[in-house]
Amino acid sequence: MIAYVTVGADDLARAKRFYAAFLPALDYTLSEGPEGLSYVLPVAPGQVAMSPDFYVKPTFDGQPASAGNGTMVAFEARSQEQVRDLHAAALAAGGVDEGQPGFRAAYGPRFYVGYLRDPQGNKIALFSSNPDEPGRDD
């Protein structure tokens, strides 16, 4: 199981604006500190975290942050409408479009996804595969 994902950011204020546009709608809460931004999902008392935490931090070595070629972080939304809404909100908050929300022929018939780049260039996917919604072939 993946415990956490970290992406680098040279401008934490820009990164915070971008991620604040959609992560709270996916139930992530933010805590900030000198080490950066920490987004976590709530965990009920007595339960173990099942989803990975997501961190946005300056680089450890002090060199400029860079996006990995072929690296992407995907966040699951509750519906196709939420994918569209959050994709639009993230674009308005400084993101760059990497693929408008929709179905992709290469994926399953219910996989609805939109792609973005955060202000640092990290690739982000917002997806839904809600079985209660129409699929690509419906």
Q: Which of 4-8, 35-39, 68-72, 124-128 has the lowest mean pLDDT?
A: 68-72
Q: Average pLDDT, stretch 31-48?
A: 91
> What's this model's pTM, rounded to 2 decimal places?
0.91
- Please give the Cα distance from 133 to 121 (Å, whole number): 31
- Please give the Cα distance from 67 to 104 (Å, whole number): 24
**Domain ranges (residues) in the chain:** 4-128
CATH superfamily of domain region 4-128? 2,3-Dihydroxybiphenyl 1,2-Dioxygenase, domain 1 (3.10.180.10)
Residue 1 has pLDDT above 80, yes or no: no
Q: Average pLDDT, stretch 87-113?
A: 96
Greater confidence, 128 or 48? Answer: 128
